Amino acid sequence: MIQAFAFYLFAAIVILSGALTVLSRNPVHSVLWLILAFFNAAGLMVLVGAEFIAMLLVIVYVGAVAVLFLFVVMMLDIDFAELRSGFVRYGFFGLLIALVLAGELIIAGGAWSAGAIDIANRTAPVSTDLSNIEAMGALIYSKYLYVFEAAGLVLLVAMIGAIVLTHRERKDVRPQNISDQVKRRPQDAVRNIDQPVGQGVEL
Amino acid sequence: MTFTQWFQSWGGEAFGWFLATTVLILMIALPLMLAVAMIIYADRKIWAAMALRRGPNVVGPLGLLQSFADGLKVMLQETIIPSAANRGLFLLAPIITFTVALIVWAVIPFGPGMVLADINVGLLYLLAASSLGVYGVIISGWASNSKYPFYSALRAAAQMVSYEVSIGFVLISVVLWADSFNLSKIVLEQQGHVLGFFNGFGFNPLLFPMAVVFLISALAETARAPFDLTEAESELVAGYQTEYSSMSFALFWLGEYANVILMCGLNAILFWGGWLPPVDWAPLYAVPGIIWFFSKILIFFFIFSWIKATVPRFRYDQLMRLGWKVFLPLSLIWVFLVSGYLMLTRYGA
């Protein structure tokens, strides 16, 4: 009973906050609703016994990605009237994408319930007495090792690409040299002198 | 018969469990609030002693009741909400900070078997919950609709995300050695870890540098001095707390110190043997584990206060440099070293 209650609670909040993400007038509110949706999706993951995925979802998406989202959105200076004016123009494409996604969801649901695919091929076979993390590790680092490494390489290339695209060498600024700053001692910078009255200081 | 079973014996399976868990939560949360009050007093006393001042000494014997007087004061104050603020989010932010600071204690083992939720992803839960703490700061900074809180929120976002990366790698080194994400198992794995005598990963020369990195990252993660740039009073008034008053301010305050105690506890659990005595010598086990754990927390809190009283505040670029250019590569190399060493010794190349 409690499982069903928890499922409907999490699922309802995910759908509600997903809808509010789209419907909110304020983009910062949208991001906050999105975060609530992530968080409750993690709750759903816990319910199906994938606690490792749930924790990763919270750490990576809620704890890092959404923070940077919020960071950027908070700094945007958004003209709401202009944002609304494009609604009709982009509405058609939005509707098209929504229809495609809905169609895919229905097909996926239909295929799942039809059960045409052999159950053994649906998911990788995992012995049930292992904990979540051990089971995933055993699969990722043996059966799917090359795919996993390839994913890592793609991410590395994407990261380098992002750095190359956004980094620009600026000639007009003087970067700080930390080791010089740390090595600097008071006697390099300060001089105590006993200056008689009425005489200038030699600099 | 365990505590939960006793409740279930007369309350029924589900209701008994519910009742027992509620009581256990209160048994953690209420002493925690008391501990926060006393640790704020300790913080002020230590800081004062190092600055050759007396610190709070008027309310109660030795000023012991100072924190309670402060608590009463803020409770009686009026909650002021700035007219330009985003009302809902403005009030939500301190609640988030406070709640998150409390929920992380669910997985902390206070002694052998003395843990509310003994889950096998305990360490990940801790990391997940502590990464939520930044939302209180960001939301308060934005919802205040005021310059300085906003600057503070941006600083906090960048700072906490940066240091979580190196904390993550430090945790991986520990997890590799302990072979578990469960905090109780991590503590038990440290029994007689070095030469069969010293209890704690921190005594291991290969893991000691990670203990230092974790201690410094913990300071940055909780925005304690010298990394308290989010509330640098010389630049940002009081940072994200500027517009807050009364209980909404007190919740930030309590949450912040609860987080500091948590980080002290994590230092103890991950590197210095948690509830175990420092050395594996039978008479020392006569002292209850919870006493060892609390004394380790207090030692780390003293170190935190000591650092606060002695080290000047970092500049923002120095903070970012330390996180990304020093700690991240260092901890990454250490993951490689630790896993390589374990591969050669434990798993036979």
Residue type, A60: V
Cα–Cα dist B325/B321, whole Å: 5
pLDDT score at A84: 65
Whether A74 and B150 lie within 8 Å, measured CB to CB: yes
Whether B139 and A32 lie within 8 Å, measured CB to CB: yes
- Whether B257 contacts B39, CB under 8 Å: yes
Residue A123, pLDDT above cutoff 70: no
Q: Compare all CA atoms of chain A with the CA of B88 and give the residue at the minimum distance.
A: A29
Q: Counting every residue, how long is chain B?
A: 349
Residue A126, pLDDT above cutoff 60: no
- Whether B96 contacts B135, CB under 8 Å: yes
Whether B321 and A178 lie within 8 Å, measured CB to CB: yes
Enter the tokens of residue B266.
């994590």
- Among B128, B135, B139, whose Cβ lies nearest the Cβ of A55? B128
A70 in contact with B at a CB cutoff of 8 Å? yes
pLDDT score at B282: 79
Residues 6+ apart with CB under 8 A from A102: none
Q: What is the mean pLDDT of residues A8-31?
A: 87
Cβ under 8 Å to A: B residues 222-281: none
Burial class (CB in 10 A: 0-12, 13-18, 19+), B254: buried
User: Alpha carbon of B245 to those of B12, B42, B138, B211, B349: distances in Å?
Assistant: 45, 23, 17, 37, 60
What 3-state DSSP class applies to B144?
coil
Distance of CA B162 to the CA centre of its chain: 17
Residues in B touching A43 (Cβ below 8 Å): none
What 3-state DSSP class applies to B279?
strand
pLDDT score at A161: 94
Best to test chain B binding among A39, A55, A136 (most B CBs inside 10 Å): A55
Distance of CA A150 to the CA centre of its chain: 20
Residue A187, pLDDT above cutoff 80: yes
Listed as ranges, residues in chain B with pLDDT below 50 are none
Mean pLDDT, chain A, rounded, equals 82
ipTM computed for the complex: 0.80
Whether A35 and B135 lie within 8 Å, measured CB to CB: yes
Best to test chain A binding among B103, B124, B145 (most A CBs inside 10 Å): B124
Cα–Cα dist B304/B314, whole Å: 15
Q: Compare all CA atoms of chain A with the CA of B123 and give the residue at the minimum distance.
A: A55
Whether A59 and B124 lie within 8 Å, measured CB to CB: yes
> Using one digit for the tens of pLDDT, what is the confidence trace for A58-103?
888 888 888 888 888 887 766 666 666 666 777 788 889 989 999 9
Whether A71 and B125 lie within 8 Å, measured CB to CB: no
pLDDT score at A80: 62
Q: Grade residue A116 by pLDDT with cuts at 50, 70 and 90.
A: low
Residue B279: beta bridge partners?
A: B198
Residues in A touching B120 (Cβ below 8 Å): 51, 131-133
Residue A149, pLDDT above cutoff 90: yes
B124 in contact with A at a CB cutoff of 8 Å? yes
Query: For the whole model, what pTM was predicted?
Result: 0.83
A130 in contact with B at a CB cutoff of 8 Å? no
> Using one digit for the tens of pLDDT, what is the confidence trace for B329-347?
999 999 999 989 888 888 7
Cα–Cα dist B349/B342, whole Å: 9
Torsion of CA B211, B212, B215, B216, to 10 degrees: -150
DSSP state of B139: H
Whether B132 and A67 lie within 8 Å, measured CB to CB: no
Q: What is the distance in angstroms between the Cα of B154 and the nearest Cα belonging to chain A? A: 7
Secondary structure (DSSP) of A4-65: HHHHHHHHHHHHHHHHHHHH-SSHHHHHHHHHHHHHHHHHHHHHTT-HHHHHHIIIIIIIII
Query: pLDDT over 70 for what percent of chain A?
Result: 87
pLDDT score at A83: 65
Residue A120, pLDDT above cutoff 60: no
Burial class (CB in 10 A: 0-12, 13-18, 19+), A178: middle
Q: What is the mean pLDDT of residues A172-182?
A: 82
